[in-house]
Chain A
Amino acid sequence: MNVDPITLTVIQAGLQQVCDEMDLTFSRAAFSPVIAEANDRSDGIYAAEDGALIAQGNAGLPVFVGTMQYSTRTLIAMIASGEVSSPEPGDIYIVNDPYLGGTHLMDVRFATPFFRDGKIFCWLSNTGHWPDTGGAVPGGFSASATAVEQEGLRLPPVKLFKRGQLDQEIFAIIKSNIRVAEQRIGDVQAQAAALLVGQERLTALLDRYGDAQVSEAIAELRSRAKTQMLACLTEIAPGTYPATAYVDSDGVVNTPLTIALTVTKDEMGLTFDFSGSSKPCLGPMNSVRATTLSAVYLAMRHIFPEVPMNAGAFAPLTVIGIENTFLDAQYPRPVSGCAAEVSQRIAEAVFAALVTALPERVTAAPAGTSGNFALGGHDPSKGRDYVMYQISGGGYGGNADHDGLTNGCSTIGISKAPPIEIMEQAYPVLYHRYALHEGSGGAGAQRGGFGLDYEIELRRGHAKASFVMDHGRFGPQGALGGGDGAVNRVTVWRDGVAHTPEHLSKEQDIPLLPGDRVHVQTPGGGGYRDPLSRSPDLVAEDVRLGRYTRNQAAELFGVVLEDAAPTPDNDQTQTLREEKRATQK
């Protein structure tokens, strides 16, 4: 190695800075609240020859860890084969094809070649979640789609900007195929502006440290990230670690989909074998290859956040056995659930497999659903159509250190929930409750966090409610003897009559009239270790705060509480716990 270790560290920080500034520019200038507020976007630098990840912004949405290296790799290959026209300085390609290294159609990628002395030095790319890309339902999450064409406009890689100029003709085609098109110009400009900022900052870095030295540093950093990941993996004893996770249904056929995972640790690293998982499905709960790999990477990054993000960190992680399963769907399988839901079940399987190997580091399963409730309708008082999203979190898993967090965001997200007051300003709805989902935390020595319990009434006009959620059939898994978190529940009250979706967590277009209500209870996190070993005082405290009932304290935790104040009756608790332990064996 010719780059000294200090310069190496400085160049590493410099590359990171370039990406962080791209993230910042994109969010601050974007129109779509999905990008501006929910940070559903990511920016990175990719290798010229194979698209391998060089650096990625720290503020990017976790689900995009690693995905753009596959889309960039595909783009490079298509340019080489002549399927896509050759890059020139100032060009920006646009692509959202899920099967070409993507996620769902709403995640739109931009990629621009970064030239030095007439040659491509690397690629800069970013992804932003557009609020709509056409298709059967506003927003793109159709729970009953059976082909990708129903999910929206699919763009192969084409140059949206040619030598710095927006191609108005291509943009016109896009605009006439998507909803709320007039605001998209702002997002397109923001997404392109982020790449321009990246170019500027990367140019400054190269001018300062020299192209040759930076190239060498990139290679060295990649090799060191691999070393670092391998060093982390030494905490895992060699062997095999199986786990299973289930998706409730595909939204069309009402049977669970199985993720069957066996993780094997050997001297080369970890192998994630998904063979035995369910076949590709009819409905939109398919994943594509790039998303499946990314889900594994993001789970590992949740476990080892200290390893820097570049292609080297992923090198010791091998994913096999996804061919012919719903984790590697091919055209024209519908895929809208891949990024928001299936990816989280994959991460859950990784956590469940590795919690036995890394009990201090890994938590029991988190709620792991994006909890997407969409309400589309017409507001007569404003004279316009609207689409409202209520995206929800849930409890996190208990862990060696503490009880799970209550109402955390999805495993793959980092966004904030919109305030109730802003939702009620923007849409004709009234919230009756926004509360803790009592009793939902999975029992454990460290219990799971609690989910959310909300109820919304339609005030005016007509509307249709759609749900793409999960964990309605099985709660988030407990770990090492902990209990599962509570399942997700959806109840729609139409004219005073309760309706539960046939698929529990998924249904499309339920018509609502004023006075009708939607009641959702999101999952709690899984419990960690034996609930009979939880401190009776902590159980009493949870009862005092109304998080569990006295009955639940006895049934789940084997704790008997004195009548007056909820303090534990130690003798009775001991007796009950002994009985419970005896029946467990």
Chain B
Amino acid sequence: MSDTSQRPKAAVAGIDVGGTFTDLVALDAEGAIKLAKVPSTLQNQAHGVLNALAAADCKPSELSLIVHGTTTTTNALLERNLARTGLITTAGFRDVLELGRRTRPQAYGMHGRFVPLIPRDLRLEVAERMDSDGNVLVPLDKTALRAAARQLRDAGCEAIVVHFLHAYANPRHELEAIAELQTLWPNDHITAGHQVLSENREYERGVTATVNACVQPLLQRYVQSLSDTLATQGYPGDLLVMNGNGGMVSARHVAKEAAKTVMSGPASGVMAAAYTARRAGIPNVITYDMGGTSTDVALIRDASPSVSNEIEVEYGMPIHVPMVDVRTVGAGGGSIARINSGGLLDIGPQSAGATPGPICYGLGGTDPTISDANMLLGRLDPKGVSASSGGTENKVQHIVETQIGKPLDLTATEAAAAILQVANTKMAGAIRMVSLSLGADPRDFALFAFGGAGPLHACALAKELNIPRVLVPARPGLTNALGCVVADLRHDFVQTINAPLQTLKPTQIAEIFTAQEAQGKHLISNENIPTTEIENHYSLDMQFVGQTHLLRVPLTKPTTSPEDLQALFEAVYRKRFHVDLNEVQAAVVNVNCSVIGRRETLDLGQLFDPHKRKTTLKDAQTRTRDVFFDTKWHPTPVYARDSLPETFTLIGPAIIEQLDTTIVVPPGDHVTPDHDGNLIITIAGAT
């Protein structure tokens, strides 16, 4: 722990590389804010990063901290643009990575493809075997191991994975194998299964380790080259990289556990939401990040994002390390509307994507999308969205009318309203399922809207879900970059013990927590980043003996008696399922500890330039346009977000425009700003 109150404020920049844009939020030493949004350069993301710094006039030499959210590993995985990687595994089990868990991609339809991350000829077997208690049944054949490693090296593998059965119970053979490999492998891209994840499921552990190995060389090269470039431009500090758990780690260490950076971008958005919501005094929110092709949803309780150890990046690719639980649901602005063979209106799952995109972009799109409906109904400014000078309104109107309106006997306007209604119904259903599957009732939350399209739909969705309030942050389109600036240092630890309560030794759990705390504290002090305090969060994953699903039980203190644990678990279970099962015994499966190094707080009020503020609402109004709500057109005032006064109350209908998004306020909803400049929208009629 280090006390920072005496030091001058650090100049810090958060830079998030997304699929389309690279965003930057920076604070200089005086606390002044700088923002930038530049196109991403996906071939080498570093160019975009440097462009963003230049666009914001941030000199690396004047920054003391750069925090970076990257999609390097995510893109590499999804595009299968991976380092050539070999596997050495227990004799008899090289196909585990290809056989998976015996599934198909969808419940209905006998089609489906699956390509394992490592091809069969690069998966080699050696004699060795542990049983489930960690007893050695067959000793490790080190001669065979060395031969296998040479074979993989000669086949051009850059990274190697060692994955043995039951290594979570006894890692001895994996450790011995690593020691051998270090003598003959040409680099340090060596991953052992148990070191990334000490969990008892061979497919999930094996895939997690393999993902780690396949992206490690790429991430290593990327952060190295970016660090070097920043250093030559005078940046004196360590580059920090966002992990999928919402904490950040030094670029020097990040590649070792590269799998943890998958989901880095979405996680930083959720961390920014958690930070913003806590300062706003609204600690329970559902985040709703709607972009062009998809929508990410996450749950934040008591200002802490829900974290999962079981993210599945795509079909057959589980990554079981703690990551912020971001679920992708439903539609994006580019989702296509059509009439199905039953004569009903359907939205998605096909998307017009970014190119050609919605018709209203004017880039050649010809399928009607959600964005087109928003434009036709006056919610989006046609001039704001179109890339073509001639305007696209007539074309959009014509296509929506002929493709959607005619079959349903509706006008173009009614058809556009129908598209939004159906899209909102489906998205609301998906959000509801996400929150229910996490044990939460959406009515107890506020909706935190960000991303380019989130604030367009948030109020309608909130109404559908009976959510009373919507929070729109200051910079909805720069939320991920803001997450980089406000993120804490964080390390998560999971240990599987799988013990019924009656078999627990009195201090067993407390001892595990103590070891986890010490390890976390050590890692944080090594990062060399100022923190204000270190927090430990304890939880247990529990179940009734005989069940397979786990419920997470948060603990307020690391020492809790087995009797209290049984009672705590029963209470959590009752709350979740409305069922009492006190005659059945509970078991502790995982012991979890998160060690968080809190950083100094950032005043979000700085995200607005005070000089742009007007004194009255009227002065902030730029124009009036007709917007369609419910069944008719309403003359609707349009405001510039940056010009809004410090305090006001506004009653919808209203449109609030800013560079990175458009906020739609339906008739009757109330908008007020809070001290950080967030807009708090109270939904009319919500209970």
- Decide if B342 touches A308 in the complex (CB within 8 Å): yes
Contact among A21, A27, A224 with B433 in the assembled complex (CB-CB below 8 Å): A21
Binds B, one of A103-111, A333-341, A542-550: A542-550
For B546, what are the chain A residues with a Cβ–Cβ distance below 8 Å? 31, 183, 186
How many angstroms from the CA of A430 to the CA of B100 in the assembled complex?
A: 19
For B340, what are the chain A residues with a Cβ–Cβ distance below 8 Å? 228, 306
- Decide if A9 touches B429 in the complex (CB within 8 Å): no
Interface residue? B92 (CB, 8 A): yes
Interface residue? A409 (CB, 8 A): yes
- Decide if B102 touches A8 in the complex (CB within 8 Å): no
Shortest Cβ distance from residue A421 to the other chain B in the assembled complex, whole angstroms: 5
Contact among B93, B103, B549 with A408 in the assembled complex (CB-CB below 8 Å): B103
For A37, what are the chain B residues with a Cβ–Cβ distance below 8 Å? 548-549
Interface of B is mostly: loop
Interface residue? B121 (CB, 8 A): yes
Binds B, one of A253-261, A274-282, A392-400: A392-400
Interface residue? B425 (CB, 8 A): yes
- Decide if B341 touches A20 in the complex (CB within 8 Å): no
Interface residue? A296 (CB, 8 A): no
- Decide if A5 touches B343 in the complex (CB within 8 Å): yes
- Decide if B345 touches A9 in the complex (CB within 8 Å): yes
- Decide if B343 touches A227 in the complex (CB within 8 Å): yes
How many angstroms from the CA of A270 to the CA of B29 in the assembled complex?
A: 75
- Decide if B201 touches A421 in the complex (CB within 8 Å): yes
Contact among A183, A227, A416, A435 with B101 in the assembled complex (CB-CB below 8 Å): A416
Shortest Cβ distance from residue A411 to the other chain B in the assembled complex, whole angstroms: 7
For A5, what are the chain B residues with a Cβ–Cβ distance below 8 Å? 343-345, 408, 418
- Decide if B341 touches A231 in the complex (CB within 8 Å): yes
Q: A21-B436, A306-B340 are in contact. Are A392 and B408 (CB under 8 A)?
A: no
Interface membership of chain B positions 195-231, coded 1 if the CB is closer than 8 angstroms to chain A and 0 otherwise: 0000011111000000000000000000000000000
- Decide if B341 touches A414 in the complex (CB within 8 Å): no
Interface membership of chain A positions 1-37, coded 1 if the CB is closer than 8 angstroms to chain B and 0 otherwise: 0000110111011101100110011011111010011
Interface membership of chain A positions 540-564, coded 1 if the CB is closer than 8 angstroms to chain B and 0 otherwise: 0000111100000000000000000
Q: A6-B421, A10-B422, A224-B342 are in contact. Are A406 and B99 (CB under 8 A)?
A: yes
Interface residue? B114 (CB, 8 A): yes
Interface residue? A293 (CB, 8 A): no
Interface membership of chain B positions 526-549, coded 1 if the CB is closer than 8 angstroms to chain A and 0 otherwise: 000000000000000000101111
Shortest Cβ distance from residue B687 to the other chain A in the assembled complex, whole angstroms: 12
For A219, what are the chain B residues with a Cβ–Cβ distance below 8 Å? none
- Decide if B344 touches A305 in the complex (CB within 8 Å): no
For B548, what are the chain A residues with a Cβ–Cβ distance below 8 Å? 33, 36-37
A interface residues, tally (CB under 8 Å): 86
How many angstroms from the CA of A421 to the CA of B109 in the assembled complex?
A: 30
- Decide if A13 touches B425 in the complex (CB within 8 Å): yes
Contact among A36, A414, A432 with B107 in the assembled complex (CB-CB below 8 Å): A414
For A298, what are the chain B residues with a Cβ–Cβ distance below 8 Å? 108
Q: A31-B546, A416-B103 are in contact. Are A396 and B110 (CB under 8 A)?
A: yes
Interface membership of chain A positions 183-207, coded 1 if the CB is closer than 8 angstroms to chain B and 0 otherwise: 1011001100100100000000000
Interface residue? B173 (CB, 8 A): no
For B408, what are the chain A residues with a Cβ–Cβ distance below 8 Å? 5-6
Contact among B108, B422, B584 with A305 in the assembled complex (CB-CB below 8 Å): B108
How many angstroms from the CA of A422 to the CA of B202 in the assembled complex?
A: 9
- Decide if B341 touches A433 in the complex (CB within 8 Å): no
How many angstroms from the CA of A414 to the CA of B108 in the assembled complex?
A: 9
Interface residue? B426 (CB, 8 A): yes
Of A182, A397, A402, A417, most buried by chain B (CB within 10 Å of CB) is A417
Interface residue? A269 (CB, 8 A): no
Q: A21-B433, A189-B579, A424-B166 are in contact. Are A409 and B103 (CB under 8 A)?
A: yes
Shortest Cβ distance from residue B579 to the other chain A in the assembled complex, whole angstroms: 5
Interface residue? B614 (CB, 8 A): no
For A183, what are the chain B residues with a Cβ–Cβ distance below 8 Å? 546, 584
- Decide if B200 touches A302 in the complex (CB within 8 Å): no
For B549, what are the chain A residues with a Cβ–Cβ distance below 8 Å? 27-28, 36-37
Interface residue? B137 (CB, 8 A): yes
- Decide if A228 touches B342 in the complex (CB within 8 Å): yes
For B547, what are the chain A residues with a Cβ–Cβ distance below 8 Å? 30-31, 36, 186
Interface residue? A419 (CB, 8 A): yes
- Decide if B104 touches A405 in the complex (CB within 8 Å): yes
Contact among A228, A402, A417 with B113 in the assembled complex (CB-CB below 8 Å): A402
Closest to A435 in B: B95
Interface membership of chain B positions 105-137, coded 1 if the CB is closer than 8 angstroms to chain A and 0 otherwise: 011111111100001110000000001100001
- Decide if A433 touches B93 in the complex (CB within 8 Å): yes
How many angstroms from the CA of A186 to the CA of B98 in the assembled complex?
A: 35
How many angstroms from the CA of A559 to the CA of B94 in the assembled complex?
A: 27
Interface residue? B578 (CB, 8 A): yes
How many angstroms from the CA of A183 to the CA of B581 in the assembled complex?
A: 10
Interface residue? A510 (CB, 8 A): no
- Decide if A417 touches B345 in the complex (CB within 8 Å): no
Shortest Cβ distance from residue B196 to the other chain A in the assembled complex, whole angstroms: 16
- Decide if B104 touches A396 in the complex (CB within 8 Å): yes
Q: A421-B166, A436-B99 are in contact. Are A545 and B137 (CB under 8 A)?
A: no
Residues of B423-477 at the interface with A, using a CB-CB cut-off of 8 Å, are: 425-426, 429, 432-433, 436-437
For B579, what are the chain A residues with a Cβ–Cβ distance below 8 Å? 29, 186, 189-190, 193
Interface membership of chain B positions 223-243, coded 1 if the CB is closer than 8 angstroms to chain A and 0 otherwise: 000000000000000000000
Contact among A193, A232, A407, A417 with B577 in the assembled complex (CB-CB below 8 Å): A193
- Decide if B93 touches A421 in the complex (CB within 8 Å): no
For B429, what are the chain A residues with a Cβ–Cβ distance below 8 Å? 13-14, 16-17, 20
Contact among A231, A351, A406 with B114 in the assembled complex (CB-CB below 8 Å): A406
For B426, what are the chain A residues with a Cβ–Cβ distance below 8 Å? 13
For B103, what are the chain A residues with a Cβ–Cβ distance below 8 Å? 408-409, 414, 416
How many angstroms from the CA of A193 to the CA of B581 in the assembled complex?
A: 13
Q: A24-B437, A189-B581 are in contact. Are A430 and B344 (CB under 8 A)?
A: no
For B102, what are the chain A residues with a Cβ–Cβ distance below 8 Å? 392-393, 407-409, 415-417, 452
- Decide if B581 touches A186 in the complex (CB within 8 Å): yes
Q: A190-B577, A193-B578 are in contact. Are A414 and B421 (CB under 8 A)?
A: no
How many angstroms from the CA of A393 to the CA of B114 in the assembled complex?
A: 15
Interface residue? B96 (CB, 8 A): yes
For A10, what are the chain B residues with a Cβ–Cβ distance below 8 Å? 421-422, 425
Interface residue? A434 (CB, 8 A): yes
How many angstroms from the CA of A436 to the CA of B93 in the assembled complex?
A: 9
For B604, what are the chain A residues with a Cβ–Cβ distance below 8 Å? none
How many angstroms from the CA of A405 to the CA of B204 in the assembled complex?
A: 19
Interface membership of chain A positions 112-123, coded 1 if the CB is closer than 8 angstroms to chain B and 0 otherwise: 000000000000
- Decide if B108 touches A301 in the complex (CB within 8 Å): yes
- Decide if B137 touches A430 in the complex (CB within 8 Å): yes
How many angstroms from the CA of A401 to the CA of B547 in the assembled complex?
A: 40
A-B contact pairs, 25 of them (CB 8 A): A6-B408, A8-B344, A13-B425, A13-B426, A20-B429, A24-B433, A28-B577, A29-B576, A29-B577, A37-B548, A182-B584, A186-B546, A224-B343, A224-B344, A228-B341, A301-B108, A305-B106, A306-B340, A363-B110, A396-B111, A402-B113, A422-B200, A435-B92, A436-B95, A452-B99
Give 4 closest A-B pairs by Cβ, nearest first: A228-B342, A417-B102, A305-B108, A433-B92
